[in-house]
Amino acid sequence: MVDQNNLGIAVLLRIFSGNIIISRRKKEVLTKITNLTMLDLQTTLLRIHSLKAWENEWRKSGENDISNAVKSSEQEIAKTFYKKACAKFYLASIFSSPGLNSVKLFDKLRKAYNSFGELEGKKFERICVNYEGQYIYGYFQHPNPPHKVPVVLIIPPLGAIKEQLDVVSEYFLNKGMATLRIDIPGFGETTGKLPLNFEDNCRAVISYLS
């Protein structure tokens, strides 16, 4: 499993002679946290010559994947393109300044992931739990429905959203466990403010599953 300490610092950039240089080790980290291939990474990285271009190029590459997914008549191929788009929108968001652009990127990421989920059928369920007037949104994924399996509750770190934790979810799914990812209050789609005691919110989500 990927060291989660790398999630926030996976991309360490150095500007040299007008080019963005990323060590092979950092590229390998990126492949692990995004599930993109080295070729996927290199194709876009070659077009990036400044920190400003980072967001634009990853966003455009993600939008191209969305277009390919919509055009594809093969469901599995379309799913692959949607997942690639999610990873690229995530990468674009790393150096996006807080504000409207960042909100738009997260919106693109969310829509791409929901499109992927629609193609997953019974393996994917979008949930919404009402807890004391707050709406907690999440994704429930099952590796082999309708069989009963353990469920892992995945909570994003502060400032992150559920769509950014796809690689964590996949790790457990590949181990035969179901996963439930949620947005914490005040982030992503979940409403309200982050309480001092978030355990009660988590219990409400767990009760929903039972």
How do residues 65-111 score in pLDDT, each as one tens digit? 999 999 999 999 999 999 999 999 988 888 777 777 788 888 999 99
Say if residue 63's pLDDT is above 70: yes
Omega before 146 within 30 of 0, i.e. cis: yes
DSSP type of residue 65? H
In order of their start, the domains of the chain are 122-210 (3.40.50.1820)
CA distance 81 to 74: 11
Q: What are phi and psi of 163, to 5 degrees?
A: -65, -20
pLDDT confidence bin for 187, thresholds 50/70/90 = confident
Return the pLDDT at 6.
43
Residue found under tokens 């035969």: 176
Rounded to an integer, the average pLDDT of 17-26 is 54
Number of DSSP helices (H) and strands (E) in the chain, helices first: 7, 6
> Using an 8 Å Cβ cutoff, are 94 and 72 in contact?
no
CB-based contacts of 56: which residues, under 8 Å, 6+ apart? Answer: 92
The Cβ of residue 29 has, within 10 Å, a number of other Cβ atoms equal to 20
